[in-house]
Structure 1
Amino acid sequence: MIEFINVDKEYENGFKALKNVNLTIEDGEFVAIIGGSGAGKSTLIRTINKMHDITSGKLTVNGKDVSSLKGQELRDFRRDIGMVFQGFNLVERTTVQKNVLSAFIPELSGFKKVFGLYSDDMKKKALEALDSVDILDKAYQRTDALSGGQKQRVALARTIVQKPTIILADEPIASLDPVTSRQVMNYFTNLNQKYNITILINIHDVDMALKYATRVLGVRKGEIVFSGHPSEVNDEVITNIYGQDPKSIVVE
């Protein structure tokens, strides 16, 4: 379970990205976070794995006070939380399999870490993760030869191999075409349903959010202004979240 209690986040320049956020995410939920540019969506999910520190309030994940975590304890905590980015965050000049294997680097020690010496079991798990997102046939190809959708599936495989209980995704389909976007969202759905992984996706496409999520959060100016089932989202709700008529919203 993820719990925000009166959480604020203020950056050094004085910008308040989160304001008195009170929110509970239950295990196994598929949550889509929607809102305008600069609303605080990315900040919200990046506080969960402590990529961003909160300024005040309390944030707990599976009973752990995130603000108190540091050093090895923080690294161990992050192993349980997968992160998927819009820009994929892959090493383009190496193979697909090696990108997935990079998830095991924290488990290596000494010269094995320096030279990237992975066990046969790790290699097997990497291939199984690639197979789970239907890209096993690209395992030994260079990553820079892949399409954007294929790269995002590799990023997902790298996350899967960690066996996380939570996956955070920051605009994972923003740079993809509609067909590929649906394919990637289907993989998220499969992970959520098959493994009961809690998924939080910061997403710009409202229609995609309503189609795939089991719960929608609306963020505006750092505040949670809506939390509910996709069926509850109507024109009035969208107007409140974005501050404009739904018909005037342009999805980029």
Structure 2
Amino acid sequence: MIEFNQVEKKYANGTIALQNINLKIEQGEFVAVIGLSGAGKSTLIRCINRMHDITGGRLSVDDVDVAKLRGKQIRRFRRRIGMIFQSFNLVTRTTVIKNVLVSFVPDLSWWRKVTGVFTTEQKLKALEALDKVGILDKAYVRVDQLSGGQQQRVALARTLAQNPDIILADEPIASLDPVTAKMVMDDFKRINKDMSISVIMNIHHVEVALEYADRIIGIRKGEVVFDGESNRVTKQILDEIYGGQVEEMKSSAEESSANVR
């Protein structure tokens, strides 16, 4: 379980990114975090794996106080948490399987790290992860020869290979066209249900969030203004989250989709 108790995040310049955050996220939930740009969505999910340090309150994962972790403890903790970025964070000049095998580097002996030699078991796990996201046939293709959607699936496979309990996704479909975005979201949903992996996703696409997530957390100016099941979200709630800018966002999204098509 992930638990935020009066969590605050204040930057050195005095900017308050998060305040009064009180949340409990159970294992196996699919949560979408929505809100305007700059509302604190990315900061919220990045505090979970200590990419950002909180400056007040308590954040715990399975009763482990995240803020108190140090050095190797942080690295071990992060092994349980996969992170998916909008930019994929892949090495494009090498093969798909080598990108997935990167997830095993922390577990390698020093000589394997130096030589880049992975075990047969690790290679099989990497192939299995690629199979789970439907791109096993691309295992030995260079990443720069793949589409954006396929690259995002490589990033997802790399995360699955480390056998995480939690997947954090920071705008994973922002750079994808609508058709490809749906395929990637289907992958997230299937993995969430079949493997009981918690998915906490920061996402701008309101309709997609409502379709795929079981729970919506709405952030406005660093505070949670809504937390509940997706089917409870109304226009009035969205107006509260987005400050009445929902219709403008929909028009912009529709225009972008039309341009892609």
**Superposed pair shares fold, TM > 0.5:** yes
Question: Counterparts of 1:57-206 in structure 2 under 5 Å?
Answer: 57-206=57-206
Say whether the 8 Å CA contact 1:31–1:200 is kept in structure 2.
yes
5+ long unaligned stretches in structure 2: 257-261
Give how far 1:109 is off: 2.0
Matched length: 252
Say whether the 8 Å CA contact 1:235–1:245 is kept in structure 2.
no
| Alignment partner of 1:241 is 2:227 | no
Q: For 2:235 and 2:81, locate their aligned partners in 1 and report how far apart those are by CA, in whole Å.
A: 34
Q: For 1:96 and 1:248, locate their aligned partners in 2 and report how far apart those are by CA, in whole Å.
A: 39
Say whether the 8 Å CA contact 1:34–1:206 is kept in structure 2.
yes
**Deviation string, structure 1 residues 29-52 (Cα, Å, up to 9, x no partner):** 000000000000000000000000
Q: For 1:247 and 1:48, locate their aligned partners in 2 and report how far apart those are by CA, in whole Å.
A: 31
1:143 alignment partner AA:
V
Say whether the 8 Å CA contact 1:34–1:204 is kept in structure 2.
yes
**Deviation string, structure 1 residues 130-165 (Cα, Å, up to 9, x no partner):** 011110111001111111000000000000011101
Partner of 1:22: 22
Q: For 2:158 and 2:166, locate their aligned partners in 1 and report how far apart those are by CA, in whole Å.
A: 14
**What is the SS of the residue equivalent to 1:104?**
helix
Compute the RMSD of aligned alpha carbons.
Answer: 0.9
Say whether the 8 Å CA contact 1:81–1:166 is kept in structure 2.
yes
Q: For 1:34 and 1:113, locate their aligned partners in 2 and report how far apart those are by CA, in whole Å.
A: 39
Between the aligned residues of both structures, percent identity stands at 59
**What is the SS of the residue equivalent to 2:224?**
strand
**What is the SS of the residue equivalent to 1:28?**
coil
Give how far 1:72 is off: 1.1
Partner of 1:217: 217
TM (norm. structure 2) is 0.95
Q: For 2:80 and 2:245, locate their aligned partners in 1 and report how far apart those are by CA, in whole Å.
A: 39
Q: For 2:204 and 2:211, locate their aligned partners in 1 and report how far apart those are by CA, in whole Å.
A: 13
Q: For 1:150 and 1:219, locate their aligned partners in 2 and report how far apart those are by CA, in whole Å.
A: 30
**What is the SS of the residue equivalent to 2:89?**
coil
**What is the SS of the residue equivalent to 1:36?**
coil
Q: For 1:125 and 1:225, locate their aligned partners in 2 and report how far apart those are by CA, in whole Å.
A: 41
Shifted more, 95-104 versus 108-117: the winner is 108-117
Partner of 2:259: none
2:217 alignment partner AA:
L
1:150 alignment partner AA:
Q
**What is the SS of the residue equivalent to 2:204?**
coil
1:20 alignment partner AA:
N
Give how far 1:245 is off: 4.4
**Deviation string, structure 1 residues 104-149 (Cα, Å, up to 9, x no partner):** 0000121211221100100010001001111011100111111100
Q: For 1:62 and 1:217, locate their aligned partners in 2 and report how far apart those are by CA, in whole Å.
A: 20
TM (norm. structure 1) is 0.98
Partner of 1:45: 45
